[in-house]
Structure 1
Amino acid sequence: NPKTLLHTDAVQGLGTFSARALGADFVTVSAHKIGGPKGVGALYIGPRVRNPRPLLAGGGQERGLRSGTEATAQIAGFARAAELRLENRARDRAHLEALHAVALEKLLAIPDMVCVGAGTAPHILSVSLAGWPAGNIVNDLGSQGICVSAGSACHQGKPSHVVAALKLPKRVAAGVIRLSFGPGTTEADIDACAQALRRHRDTRMPML
């Protein structure tokens, strides 16, 4: 139906697209994904949307779309983070692409480690230590100060529907973890993660 309005959660891609070119009628983004403060985001409303109604009625702030006192400091921080991301976009992308390649090489050198998916985004990598449960990996590495994820942040504690949709072999699906890189990530961070994953594989028993 051409009259249907489309919303896109684009927090992972902020800084890599034009909201108008994306074609969605609503686009949500969040500051913390680009190094800004947590707790502040933005909503793009496209030209097809007529008279959007607020969820919270009241003082009429934000042109009547969202009542309540604006978080001025957070908004200013979001704006500055966006400026810095645009200024350094080419440099940051080259850095992330290099880290992605290094991480892939080091991780796939670990026995039983496989790459999941064929995505080209330079800031994220999904792999599986086939046979070793992802939850155990997350806990083990977390105790060493290394943060990895077994699924998306918005579905924490639940099986990933994305992994399920890939229809991976059971051993591979059980060990899927996600690594994210940022401009501040270093090759030393990648080395520490690879070493911790290798130790986990060598000292823990596979479950499947």
Structure 2
Amino acid sequence: MQSSIVYLDYNATTPVDDRVLERMLPFFKQQYANPSSPHLFALQAQEEIDFAQQDLAHLINCRASELTFTSGATEAINMAIKGLTYGHRKHIICASTEHNAVLECCRYMETKGYTVTYLPVDKDGIIDLKTLEDSITTDTALVCVMLVNNETGVMQDIPSIATLTHQAGAWFLCDATQAVGKIPIDVKQMQIDFMPISAHKFYGPKGIGALYTNPAIGSLEPLLHGGQQQKGMRSGTLNVPGIVGLGTAAAIAKQEMANQNKLILTLRDALEKSILEIDETFVNGHLDKRIFNTTNISLRGLHSQEMILALGNIAVSSGSACSSVTNRPSPVLRAMGLKNEDNLSAIRFSLGRFTTDHDIDYTLDRIKKIVTKLRG
């Protein structure tokens, strides 16, 4: 009997890699200087920030100067959507399956006089490019579509979406929170104008992230005013340990991503194949256009919350970590056309760097026993 946690909720957060933690520790106790100070001690801290910024820039193929450190992806999204100078254009488009951070910002913009179009998706969670093209007008200023959906793992055709957006003279925000550090990303090749990043999604610490901004956009209206750190884009004393952790996580991801992904994909497919052998089960989302570590499966006739409680020491999710506690049908799965019964039976399994064969075998054994018991 296994008593320790089997963690299959990597899309919610990841454990900090030991190498990341080791790199961070000196900046809590020995190298604790404020990088905004003028002395040598502070200059050393600033140098470490510069190194971390370069590592993150290298991961997504941008210049270090195009990155602004934030507290995470939510702040980065708010910074981009609320800080953009829209001029005479008053129309925003976003996918109906976006993360709440994007959706709530768009709803906020509606209270400020902007019009928002919420794009539908098909049963596989994919945006129809013709629908997007028809939705874009001469008044459109911003299009928001995430690269990898946090609940289903479904991936959108970002280069095509960006091309349609730019042809209309609008800017493109791509929430890549679930993609950075997992799959190769080139913001230039993919034509991304804004991209939020969160360290805790790829084995870095919580409370630190970044916003990539296309320099052609110019300056944003800052959310925070204060000491003019980061060229006035985001005032406040920099989180040196967090930034060092983010940079270290980025460097490790760049080096190890390819080999790691193959191993995780093998485990994900083994888990999914065995669960689908259970009667009345099916995958939510496109089977091919999705990230390697995620599967969202409905077990018809069962309630996901009941399953999660019964699984006990196996950590899985019924949807987004930000909304799963509400015990309501997932808006993402609803947008894909799932009936409430099937929606409420969905469980997201998301694997990661430290998932083992034993974790998968143990999980499958428990799931099959629990399903038999609950259905019986």
TM-score, normalised via structure 1 length: 0.90
Residue 179 (structure 2) aligns with? 13
| Secondary structure in 1 matching 2:367 | helix
Q: Which amino acid aligns with 1:30?
A: S
- Secondary structure of 1:22 counterpart: coil
Return the match for 2:374 from 180, 204, 207: 204
Deviations 1:31-81 (A, max 9, x none): 111101111101000133122121011101112111111110010011011
Match of 1:73 among 224, 238, 241: 241
Contact 1:151 1:159 in 2 (8 A): no
Question: Aligned match of 1:181 in 351, 359, 363?
Answer: 351
Contact 2:329 2:344 in 1 (8 A): no
Partner of 1:132: 302
Q: 1:204 to 1:56 in 2, by over 3 A?
A: same
The DSSP-based 3-state class of the residue aligned with 2:262 is helix
Distance 1:173 1:132 in 2: 10
Q: How far apart are the structure 1 equivalents of 2:314 and 2:221? A: 43
Q: CA deviation at 1:170?
A: 4.8
* 1:169 Cα deviation from its structure 2 partner: 4.7
The residue aligned with 1:160 is 330
What is the one-letter code of the residue matched to 2:214?
Answer: G
* Residues 196, 211 of structure 2: 8 Å contact kept: yes
1:193 corresponds in structure 2 to 363
Secondary structure, counterpart of 2:216 in structure 1: coil
Identity of aligned residues (%): 31
C-alpha separation in 1, matches of 2:348 and 2:294: 7
What does 1:144-159 align with in structure 2 at a 5 Å threshold? 144-156=312-324, 157=326, 158-159=328-329
Q: Deviations over 1:140-199 (max 9, x none)?
A: 22xx22111111123332421111122235543231110001011111111222222212
- Tell me how far 1:205 sits from its aligned partner: 4.4
1:126 deviates by 0.9
Change (3 A) 1:205 1:49: same
**1:114 positional shift:** 2.0
Aligned to 1:109: 277
Moved more, 90-99 or 166-175: 166-175
Amino acid at match of 2:264: L
Higher relative contact order by CA 8 Å / sep ≥ 6: 1 or 2?
A: 2
Q: Which residue of 1 aligns with 2:258?
A: 90
Runs of 4+ more than 4 Å apart: none
Aligned to 2:195: 27
Q: Secondary structure in 1 aligned to 2:349?
A: strand
CA distance in 1, matches of 2:177, 2:305: 25
Q: Deviations over 1:86-114 (max 9, x none)?
A: 11111111111111221122211223322
Amino acid of the residue matched to residue 172 of structure 2? Answer: L
CA RMSD of aligned residues (A): 1.7
| Structure 2 gap ranges (5+) | 1-139, 141-167
- Count of residue correspondences: 204
SS at match of 2:215: coil
Instruction: Provide the C-alpha distance between the structure 2 equivalents of 1:160 and 1:10, rounded to a whole number of angstroms.
Output: 20
Q: Secondary structure at the match of 1:27?
A: strand
1:134 positional shift = 1.2
Which stretch shows the higher mean deviation, 34-43 or 5-14?
5-14
CA contact (8 A) 1:131 1:174 kept: no
Assess if the C-alpha contact under 8 Å between 2:329 and 2:340 holds in 1.
no
Q: Is the 8 A contact 1:130 1:173 kept in 2?
A: no
Gaps of 5+ in 1: none
